[in-house]
Chain A
Amino acid sequence: MRQINSLQQALLILLLFLPVSVLAEAELRTLEIGDEAEVDIRVFKSDGDKLLLGFACDEGQSVAEEFTAESLAEDGVEVWMPDMLGGYMLPKTRSSIYSIPSEGLYRVMEEAMETGKKVFLIASGPDTELVLRVANEWEAKHDGAAGLAGVVLMFPRLNEGKPEPGKEPEYVEAVGKTKEVPLLLLEGERTPNRWGVKHLTAALAASGSHVHAKVIPDVRGYFFKRQDANMPEEVVTTQLAGLIKASLFFLGRTDS
């Protein structure tokens, strides 16, 4: 056990001191998203055929996400990180996500599709509501998934209101509308929400989407954003790029 801990510590130290030059650097693009609004997108370019669009609301806030994006780009997955909150001049708070119009991210997605790559959406926590909304609109306007290869929902928080003990949860309107685009749900083992994964999976699949769920052992929700992350959470954070890449591979196989 002590040997494993030493290995984990060595891995962390190695990653912390990894020279920045070996990782792909982001280029900043600005895109008009209507009504004179513009969104800045950090693009981590890659030659691979997959494009991951997401981490919608963490502009400048999450070092782990940026590091993960760099790693993914090095590994063949292009990553676009739009600052949707900045684009609509909304405060960087969790509740702001519900004020983001779908049209903005939809416009970014159209631009991503222009690359000819397979486009995947990704979000965590309450941000998952926005990507589901956009996926729904995409399907509605294109009569199917039409190039949208999948959506990764990390620790989705999609409940409508507070949960009530003894009652099945109710979800926000965006849940259960997608028909073709495959969805992958990731949840931490050490969170009460893991007990709702089965129910949420069924709700998300209500209109036909294939939905897969994976519980990540030994971590709490938002583990990669936590100031008080423990050793297993730090280790999984360093492996986040691999976890996401595996998720995209899995979604690619179930793409209908």
Chain B
Amino acid sequence: MKKLLILLLLVFTLPAVAGLKPYEGEGPTPPLKLVDMQGNTHDLAAYKGKVVLVQFWATYCPPCREEMPSMNRLMEKMGDTPFVILAVNMGETMEEVEPFVKEVGPEFPILMDPDGESIGAWQVFAAPSNFVVGADGKIHYTLFGGVEWDDEEIVTRLKELSGS
């Protein structure tokens, strides 16, 4: 009985693993059209039909740095699921971003936004700020703060959203 109580206590006091919150904002998904570090332009509208994780991050943000390797693992776990990550850097220069990117080797594009245009449009006031855009082009979830993106609960939720 005592063991059962301890088990129940543990289960009910554990923090929410995923942390994805249903999006409560109104209006259409803001546009996102930016150039990545290799000079390729990425337009969110062109990814309709895929689940897109849009993340706003910066090298001076410790949780952003910590979680990026888990985003690589998430890409791997998503496998053939139609899913992409667009990681938008918040106003830094190439010189500031490059060393960290070389160290981590992200398997997804890092978009540069030196003037912070998209940051205003997406109402981002802190980092890391995440938006999960569904295959329908609408924002379904948001998440503030660092997480382990390859957590099974997140992977399951993203796969469900893609219809896989």
Contacts and interface: CB of A to CB of B under 8 A. Distances in A.
* Chain A complexes with chain B: yes
Interface of A: 162-169, 190-196, 199, 220
A165 B123 contact: yes
A125 B75 CA distance: 37
B125 A169 contact: yes
User: Chain A interface mostly helix, strand, loop or mixed?
Assistant: loop
A22 B106 CA distance: 53
B122 A166 contact: yes
User: Chain B interface mostly helix, strand, loop or mixed?
Assistant: loop
A199 B145 contact: no
B60 A162 contact: no
A195 B116 contact: yes
Contacts of A165: 56, 122-124, 126, 129-131, 142-144
Given A195-B119, A195-B124, A196-B125, A166 B60 contact: no
A51 B137 CA distance: 56
A166 B58 contact: no
B123 A166 contact: yes
Interface stretch (B18-26, B35-43, B146-154, B156-164): B18-26
B61 interface: yes
Contact of A163 (B58, B125, B131, B139): B125
A163 B129 contact: yes
Interface of B: 21, 23-25, 56, 58, 60-61, 90-91, 116, 119-120, 122-127, 129-131, 139, 142-145
Nearest to A194: B91
A126 to B, nearest CB: 15
Contacts of A192: 58, 61, 90, 124-127
A191 B91 CA distance: 10
A162 B145 contact: yes
A217 to B, nearest CB: 12
A164 to B, nearest CB: 6
Given A163-B129, A192-B61, A192-B124, 5 more contacts: A164-B24, A165-B56, A166-B23, A192-B125, A195-B91
Residue from the set A166, A193, A194, A220 with the largest chain B CB neighbour count within 10 Å: A166
Residue from the set A165, A167, A168 with the largest chain B CB neighbour count within 10 Å: A165
A168 B120 CA distance: 10
Nearest to A197: B125
A155 to B, nearest CB: 13
A195 B60 contact: no
B99 to A, nearest CB: 13
Contacts of B143: 165
Nearest to B25: A166
B60 A193 contact: no
A169 B56 CA distance: 16
Contacts of B125: 163, 168-169, 192-193, 195-196, 199
Residue from the set A164, A190, A193 with the largest chain B CB neighbour count within 10 Å: A164
Contacts of B124: 165-166, 192, 195
A167 B60 contact: no
A220 B124 CA distance: 18
B145 to A, nearest CB: 7
B65 to A, nearest CB: 13
Nearest to B64: A192
A164 B119 contact: no
A66 B144 CA distance: 36
A182 B24 CA distance: 35
B115 to A, nearest CB: 11
Across chains A and B, which 9 residue pairs bring their CB atoms closest together, nearest first? Answer: A165-B129, A192-B127, A196-B125, A163-B126, A165-B142, A166-B25, A190-B60, A192-B126, A166-B123
